[in-house]
Amino acid sequence: MARKVLVLAEIRDNALRNVTFEAIAAAKTVAEGGEVVGMLLSDRASNLASELIAYGADRVVTVEHDQLCHYTADGFGQAFLQVLEAEKPEGIIMGHTALGKDLAPKIAAKMELGLISDATAVEVVDEQVIFTRPIYSGKAFEKNSISDGIVFATIRPNNIPALVKDGTRTGEVSLFNVEIKDLRTIIKEIVRKTSEGVDLSEAKVIVAGGRGVKSADGFEPLKELAKVLGGAVGASRGACDAEYCDYSLQIGQTGKVVTPDLYIACGVSGAIQHLAGMSNSKVIVAINKDPEANIFPIADYGIVGDLFEVVPLLTEEFKKALV
Ligand code: FAD
């Protein structure tokens, strides 16, 4: 059954986030040959629409309004609902990001829709769209479908591969006017805690430090390794609680959930709450002094040793290999 599927594009630092391209790929599956419509909510005209098309969108609706300069649930919610009203899609896909986690349930509640959140895969079986999502902190997976109404889902970054970019694709780009009023939230300033480096939730490589790094300075060799691999630095709650790093780096049940291609855990014991945030990583490397550490059974490669010896050695070897 061909469907029209709307994809909310996420913009950061004037660029589209990767999860947007993954959402378009998911929308293609849901659309079953129907139309995939990208939606850009922003305060200014941009050239991002063509990139959405290059990654698979058939058409793009751009909304420009000065109240859409920064994300607010209020402002984006109002704009989103007006586009929904006009477009009447049969499917909606967005990233399971901070923005998606905030906005999607509000839209679903307002429209009285079902919502499947944090999907890691999508398929169509007998015309029924089925999403896979992790449950019990990633220990099991369940398959969900929406039997009636709009197929609405948020997708976990780094799980559904984006389509290959095709710069020759063309599609209509239209401007849609919205009215935004009575905003209850005004963003005055944004203070970034992690301004440098790769975004943790979208990183393909993560080098994570635990209490075993012993100090804030102990993170330096990890940062060096992450830099060589083009990755991001993450942390266990143990390291955050000990004030070795900021809580924005925390991975786990009460931190970020990540699925990089490569996760290197350094001085992390492997508590169940930490595993909840990273156990679905594609390849896990664990470096720990304790051969009995809980991280080893879930690791693809384990190195029993002192991280302060092992990590610089790895960095040197990767430097040689990657030149
Ligand atoms: P530790 O358990 O102290 O482990 C440190 C490890 O470093 C040890 O295995 C040690 O052998 C190794 N080590 C020490 N020195 C070296 C060295 N030189 N070289 C190599 N290895 C070395 N935790 C999270 O991470 N994320 C969460 O989201 C989270 N949420 C939680 C929610 C709740 C409700 C609760 C109760 C707990 C939560 N925790 C979370 C905390 C979790 O239970 C653990 O306490 C925490 O993950 C431990 O952090 P750690 O592995 O860094 O520290």
pLDDT digits over 211-266, tens only?
999 999 999 999 999 999 999 999 999 999 999 999 999 999 999 999 999 999 99
238 CB less than 6 Å from ligand 1? yes
ipTM > 0.90? Answer: yes
- Asked if residues 60 and 49 have their Cβ atoms less than 8 Å apart, the reply is yes
Ligand 1 atom nearest to CA at 294: 9
Mean pLDDT for the stretch of residues 151-166: 96
183 phi and psi angles, rounded to 5 deg? -65, 130
Question: Residue 283: how many CB atoms within 10 A of its CB?
Answer: 13
Measured from the CB, is residue 234 less than 6 Å from ligand 1? no
- Cβ–ligand 1 distance for 308 under 6 Å, the answer yes
User: For residues 269 and 6, what is the distance between their CA atoms, to the nearest angstrom?
Assistant: 42
Q: Is residue 20 lining ligand 1, measured as CB closer than 6 Å? A: no
> Model's pTM, two decimal places?
0.84
Which residue would you say has higher pLDDT here, 189 or 85? Answer: 85
- Give the pLDDT confidence of 255-278 residue by residue, as tens digits: 999 999 999 999 999 999 999 999
**List of residues 6+ apart from 225 with CB closer than 8 A:** 207, 231, 264, 311, 314, 315, 318
211 pocket-lining for ligand 1 (C-beta < 6 Å): yes
Q: How far apart are CA 153 and CA 22, in angstroms?
A: 13
Q: Which atom of ligand 1 is nearest to the CA of 209?
A: 52
Please give the distance, rounded to the nearest whole angstrom, from the Cα atom of residue 210 to the centre of ligand 1: 6
With a 6 Å cutoff on the Cβ, whether 277 touches ligand 1 is yes
| Alpha helix ranges (H) inside the chain | 18-31, 48-54, 73-87, 98-111, 220-229, 237-241, 272-278, 295-298, 307-322
Opening angle at CA 245, ends 241 and 250, nearest 5: 70
Q: With contact defined as beta carbons under 8 Å apart, do 233 and 219 qualify?
A: yes
Instruction: Tell me the average pLDDT across 113-126.
Output: 96
In angstroms, the CA 217 to CA 245 distance is 10
User: Among 166-170, 181-185, 306-310, which stretch is predicted with the lowest mean pLDDT?
Assistant: 181-185
Question: Which residue from 225, 254, 263 has its CB within 8 A of the most atoms of ligand 1, so it is best to mutate?
Answer: 254
Reported as type and span, the H/E element at residue 95 is strand 91-95
The structure tokens listed for 307 are: 């991280």
- Digit-coded pLDDT (tens) for 49-90: 999 999 999 999 999 999 999 999 999 999 999 999 999 999
| Residue in the block written with tokens 């060799």 | 221
**Residue 197 · residue 226 · CB < 8 Å:** yes
279 touches ligand 1 (CB under 6 Å)? no
β-pair type (15-16, 5-8): unpaired
Separation of 134 CA from ligand 1 center, angstroms? 23
Q: Whose CA is nearest to atom 46 of ligand 1?
A: 238
pLDDT for 287: 98
Does the beta carbon of 293 lie inside 6 Å of ligand 1?
yes
Is 253's C-beta closer than 6 angstroms to any atom of ligand 1?
Answer: yes
Percent of the chain residues past pLDDT 70, beyond the cut: 98
- SS3 at position 249: helix
